[in-house]
Amino acid sequence: MTKPKRISSEELSNFFRPNAAAIIVNDIGEVLAFERADKKGSWQCPQGGCEGGESYFQCVLREIEQETGISRKFLKIRAVHPGLLAYEFPRGKRNIKKGRGQVQKWYVFRLLAGGLQSIHFNGHGKPEFQAYKWTTMEKLADKVVPFKRAVYEELYEHFAQHLSPTQWQ
């Protein structure tokens, strides 16, 4: 009789978790950035892991509302990144739940009138964010944690035309 193979926690955390993320823009092409509650000075866009049989689109809408309080009625889809973008966590941040990193589907939404007033950070459990501000995608890329920076730089390049105020006419 053979013994079952024992799997280390390192092996269990050697996967990339499916994730959806959103760039939320205003009428002049600024990006809504959120400061992480657990890392002051670190800013990012809403994102989170997909649950069960949830599609990326269902996931991104749920994550936006859970993390920011902004409901779907205040969002208009503007663009979708054609591929998936991935980043790896530093070794000390990997675990069985989050895996080795995240593979993300990115969306751009325009924030409609009233959406800003609906922002709150008392969603499910411990709030992920503590503050928000309008900024440019280029400046936001400089404020994300270093292991996510390449993804944000790619987003800035890919979505530049959707972040231009001339696109809203």
Query: What is the phi/psi pair of residue 114, to 5°?
Result: 95, -15
Q: For the chain, give every domain's residue range.
A: 9-162
Q: How far apart are CA 117 and CA 105, in angstroms?
A: 27
Mean pLDDT of 8-29: 83
Contact 44, 34 (CB under 8 A): yes
Structure confidence by residue, pLDDT tens digits, 66-104: 999 999 999 999 999 999 999 999 988 888 888 899 999
Determine the pLDDT at residue 108: 96
HEC per residue, the chain: CCCCCCCCHHHHCCCEEEEEEEEEECCCCCEEEEEECCCCCCEECCEEECCCCCCHHHHHHHHHHHHHCCCHHHEEEEEECCCCEEEECCHHHCECCCECEEEEEEEEEEECCCCHHHCCCCCCCCCCEEEEEEECHHHHHHHCCHHHHHHHHHHHHHCHHHHCHHHHC
Determine the pLDDT at residue 61: 98
- Select 9-162's CATH number: 3.40.50.720, 3.90.79.10, 3.30.930.10, 3.40.50.300: 3.90.79.10
Determine the pLDDT at residue 96: 81
Choose among 118, 18, 20, 33: nearest CA to 77. Answer: 20
Determine the pLDDT at residue 126: 82
More confidently predicted of 29 and 105 = 105
Determine the pLDDT at residue 21: 98
Counting residues of the chain whose pLDDT is more than 90, the rounded percentage is 64
Determine the pLDDT at residue 169: 44
Determine the pLDDT at residue 166: 56
Determine the pLDDT at residue 35: 96
Mean pLDDT of 108-133: 88
Contact 137, 151 (CB under 8 A): no
Mean pLDDT of 151-166: 83
Determine the pLDDT at residue 114: 87
